[in-house]
A and B are shown apart, each in its own frame.
Chain A
């Protein structure tokens, strides 16, 4: 356990410390001379009308929701795919391979059912126009 995840934690910590150190050092070194004009948002030189944090198109929320649905499908498929050799074999594997004549439709069949349901949902959102950008 510590051999697999400790290095990742170390690296994450190191990268984060680096990020903070670089930003902090740059903040200390540079001169700060803010003026009202400098502090305006840069919108191609046009006078800024109002706050930018307005409502935006609902399409983006739609994409986020669809993403969650389909990404969870993907995450579900990953263990299935890594275990597929065993799932498509009626008996336990011998030296990592299926003994001759023992191939089974089980693994594929299960995933075809799942994909069928997924496909129905996909066609539904397509026909509903959720994938349509105007």
Chain B
């Protein structure tokens, strides 16, 4: 059978050119999606609160992002007097660079056949795989802590410190939840993780507890509500970027949304099967075609979009945590849960091996599914019951609440008496 050049690995120079093209395309796409997710955030927030949201610039406010971009670009940059100039300027650049570099190892579609060879839709298929986004997003902490420190503003300093402490705390839980995925997948390369999920089942059902821990950590890592301690606006003005204006503020804004996008992409890749189209083998078997590449890219985008929507939805559903609750959730709950889960998953794998169940067979997957249903039940029903995740309501003393209610009822009767 003659070899089709469109299904082969490309030579070095076509590979390099393809890499640059992919890089430019995805980078541009990232910037556009980031810009529009700010609009989406405002629109969805408006719908949730029964408002209209931005609707003046262009149809449905679609050009609002352009207007915002131009505004931020030409506004006066204020530079407070006592800032540490080098770090003050470096901080937004670090945050921006790291946020827009972290997606390099995430595969975003099935391979694309071209006359010069089969191009994998991933910018860098690095063997370190999943470690790379974790490492790069941690470097983003430097941008935040430098911004907070160099601003010479007490609120900025507090915001930067809070953000860095929170991000490093949840980094541990996130790393441990990823370990559980790697255990089952036996690989750190993200294309391999996607291929194994396409062949078996999605990790969100096989490793639900890890998915839950990862999801919570993703909210904390990106400083989103309910963990937006970094810029709790009722406490710290705007947190670490209080002193930033114009484009330097925009850089932090872009970095924040790019981090959300990367976290969504990581969740989709690790737990939702990446670019795999569910309930069909069409996309993962047989020779690569352009249609497959486009369809898988579309489904990957849909998964990311769904998770982004979830980010925004949660913002208007949950109240902000108190800082000590946030830290105790991270260190006293997420960390032991993730560690225990690693032990449970590895023990389960060993027991199934001893029992002679083949890896990836129906029985193997069913066993893991059953295990996770039980564990999720345990996690939510027995362990939690509103004690750890939402301590505020449960710590209220019943008797005190009743007394307060009685007082309130008494007041209303007094008020009624005065009227009479």
Contact = CB atoms under 8 A, between A and B. Distances in A.
Contacts of B186: 82-85, 96
A71 B151 contact: no
SS of A interface (majority): helix
Chain A interface bracket (under 10, 10 to 19, 20 to 34, 35 or more): 35 or more
A47 interface: no
A38 interface: yes
A78 B356 contact: no
A11 B157 contact: no
Interface string B174-214: 01101110110111100000000000000000000000000
A30 B16 contact: no
A120 interface: no
Given A23-B92, A53-B152, A77-B179, A41 B104 contact: no
Contacts of B81: 36, 39-40
B353 A103 contact: yes
Contacts, number: 229
Contacts of A82: 182, 185-188
A60 B127 contact: no
Interface residues of B, number: 90
Given A39-B81, A42-B242, A84-B183, A77 B342 contact: yes
Nearest to A26: B247
B187 A126 contact: no
Contact of A81 (B104, B183, B237, B353): B183
Interface of A: 2-8, 10-12, 14-16, 18-20, 22-23, 25-27, 29-34, 36, 38-44, 51-53, 56, 59-60, 63-64, 66-67, 70-71, 74-75, 77-78, 81-85, 88-89, 96-98, 100-101, 103, 105, 107-108, 111-112, 115, 118-119, 122, 126, 131-134
Given A5-B124, A63-B327, 9 more contacts: A3-B15, A7-B123, A8-B126, A14-B24, A22-B96, A31-B76, A39-B79, A41-B243, A42-B243
